[in-house]
Structure 1
């Protein structure tokens, strides 16, 4: 099981995702924004198996968090979440640092599978399709 750092400003989504991931035995540290998540990452020396972050958050958004985290901890898988098409478009060009972007609303099974695959290093479906 992995150690997951979750950054999500919506309390209901944060609780849902935290519980979903804990069902698989992961240890989840939940934060309310990117700035808080970056502070946790820095204090722990990046000792996480996955960074899971909403894109649109106050203080520091998920893209800024992903860029800072990838620079400091290049082997840390990063998954971004969003419910907004325009926010998803902002991730174009971040393929080298972001494992995947998952669109809200997602199911319990979707987020659990995404975390499991990201931690295991399984290539996202889109990448596997073009690898042949």
Structure 2
């Protein structure tokens, strides 16, 4: 069962995403910001298949989290989420470490598909 770490500072978004991808049998762990997610990654020695993180968060944003996670856990697939065009633009230079950027708002189907694609790419790579 794939393990997915979800980082988003909005409670409702975090729980929606966790419920949506749990429908596909994935184990989910949630974090309320990038620093919390990094603590979880470190404590669990990066034993996740996918990091799904919002870009704009307090304390540590998703891009800083992605850069640190990619450095410390190079086998971890990373998927970003954002509702802001400027944040999507910031992420465009991260193609080497980020699988994709999912634009908010998205449907349950969209996020499940994005997660499935990222996990399939991890298996293939």
TM-score band w.r.t. shorter chain: over 0.9
Report the structure, 1 or 2, having the larger helix content.
2
Give distance in 1, aligned partners of 2:43 and 2:98.
22
RMSD: 0.9
How much does 1:102 deviate? 0.3
Q: How many residues align?
A: 122
How much does 1:11 deviate? 0.7
Aligned to 1:70: 70
Instruction: Give the structure-1-normalised TM-score.
Output: 0.90
Instruction: Give the structure-2-normalised TM-score.
Output: 0.95
- Gap regions ≥5 residues in structure 2: none
Aligned to 1:92: 92
Aligned to 2:5: 5
Aligned to 1:26: 26
4+ long deviations beyond 4 Å:
none
